[in-house]
Homo-oligomer: A and B are copies of this chain.
């Protein structure tokens, strides 16, 4: 008897942010393994803002998920059967296994074997996964923080932003987080050690709040939002500032480019740099980042927060919540076999 596999399929292509109406949950039989394949039982499924891009028909940095296909997702789980010599039953793995209980995949879908088995497996999808690696390379390689720099981070309580702030602090920088709501700004200060945190929802004058928090200007801005938060930060760039564009979460549609303030003159006067960053360009160096991040987690110098939803039924509605700021850390779906 083949095992039954619960899968979340893309049913319709959303105009902007995907919601429950765009997905179906089905039960299907798990196919036989072929040579070179492994069967992974997922324990955690990732939910992330990038998923909006993955299901968009607009040209992007990845091919859109097809209608009727399993929703693309990173997941972490255990190898339960293997016809690939590089993997054995019991190996912990993370990769593009999709929103489903069981994944039959080739080695190309595996991001890595999880070797830091002294730490929770879920971290492989957060602070020791793409979020942590994104924070690490985006800040270090593109932001190039120097001791004494002021580093501003948007969505600072999020899984990427919180790691950026802490890595910046470990790099000798002053850190200023921007987040929405008092709970998140408290989390920035208390849990993630930001020197200052700005609640953009509670201030009428974000511009003045940034000026007050950054008296010497902003040397590095790690931008996860775009939109009006970024517009306010941009005004306060210091000479030779570096802006890392990592995400654009506050703008719900880019199908025609929205309008905003022109920054050309300001960038010229400040000799500042704005650069788009995509973590996949650093794939060959993930191990280097994960080793450092895991070391900091073990030392207690890198805190993280998780926002765990129980059961695959939660998946279809889970993306929208990220854009509404519902989560309090890396959002994950925990599966119960």
Contacts and interface: CB of A to CB of B under 8 A. Distances in A.
Interface of A: 59-61, 223, 226, 230, 245-248, 251, 254, 257-278, 281
Nearest to A239: B61
A265 B248 contact: yes
Contacts of A272: 275-276
Contacts of A269: 59-61, 276, 278
Contacts of A266: 254, 257, 276
A281 B271 contact: yes
> Which are the 6 A-B pairs with shortest beta-carbon distances?
A267-B276, A268-B276, A257-B261, A226-B264, A273-B275, A260-B262
B268 A263 contact: no
B248 A257 contact: no
B276 A273 contact: yes
A266 to B, nearest CB: 7
B264 A245 contact: yes
A269 to B, nearest CB: 5
Contact of A274 (B60, B226, B267): B267
Given A273-B274, A273-B276, A275-B273, A258 B262 contact: yes
A268 B245 contact: yes
B268 A248 contact: yes
Contacts of A223: 264
A62 B257 CA distance: 34
Nearest to A263: B257
B268 A278 contact: yes
Nearest to A260: B262
A261 B226 CA distance: 13
B267 A245 contact: yes
Contacts of A61: 269
A262 B259 contact: yes
23 contacts: A59-B269, A61-B269, A226-B262, A226-B265, A245-B267, A245-B268, A247-B268, A254-B262, A254-B265, A254-B266, A258-B261, A258-B262, A259-B260, A260-B261, A260-B262, A266-B276, A267-B274, A267-B275, A268-B277, A269-B276, A271-B276, A272-B276, A273-B276
A260 to B, nearest CB: 4
Query: Which residue among A245, A264, A268 has the maximum number of chain B CB atoms within 10 Å of its CB?
Result: A264
Contacts of A277: 268, 271
Contacts of A251: 262, 264-265
A105 to B, nearest CB: 26
Given A257-B266, A260-B261, A264-B274, 17 more contacts: A60-B269, A223-B264, A226-B264, A226-B265, A230-B264, A245-B268, A246-B268, A247-B268, A251-B265, A254-B265, A266-B276, A267-B275, A267-B276, A269-B276, A271-B278, A271-B281, A273-B275
A205 B270 CA distance: 32
A276 B223 CA distance: 18
Contacts of A265: 226, 248, 251, 254, 257
Contacts of A263: 257
Contacts of A264: 223, 226, 230, 245, 248, 251, 274, 276
